[in-house]
Homo-oligomer: A and B are copies of this chain.
Amino acid sequence: MSTFKFSELPVAAFRAGAERRIVYTDHLMLVIFDFSDGPQTQPDPPHRHPHEQVSYVVEGEILFFLGDEPPVHLVPGDGYTVPADIPHCIQLLTPRARLVDAFTPLREDFLST
């Protein structure tokens, strides 16, 4: 089936207050992240991956950190790109937030966990 209903997607609760739902084709993955443990007093630890990423803020407000750049305050409708292998992280400014992240190639680590 080519469509997905949010309520029917498998959920990975990868840490307390954070859920991940994934949808993908051969080379493209969309990940719906829901956070409910904000606001946070500091960003999460930076992480990096070889995948290209473009992210869109659906709900909530965040600070986005990329490499050594100053953090940027993002609201719904805004977003960011992440080049391969550049450390990045976010900090929640609101109690809840939803991000939609697109990746290529597939995040194999999300398929196995």
Residues of B within 8 A of A5 (CB): 74, 77-78
Q: Output the nearest chain B residue to A24 by Cβ-Cβ distance.
A: B54
Number of this chain's copies in the assembly equals 2
Residues of B within 8 A of A108 (CB): none
Residues of B within 8 A of A3 (CB): 64, 66, 72, 74, 78-81
Nearest Cβ on chain B to A82's Cβ, whole angstroms:
7
In the complex, chain A residues 25-52 whose Cβ is within 8 Å of any chain B Cβ:
25-30, 32, 52
Among A23, A24, A66, find the residue whose CB has the most chain B CB atoms closer than 10 A: A23
Residues in chain A within 8 A of chain B (CB atoms): 2-7, 23-30, 32, 52-54, 56, 58, 64, 66, 69, 72, 74, 76-83, 100, 102-104
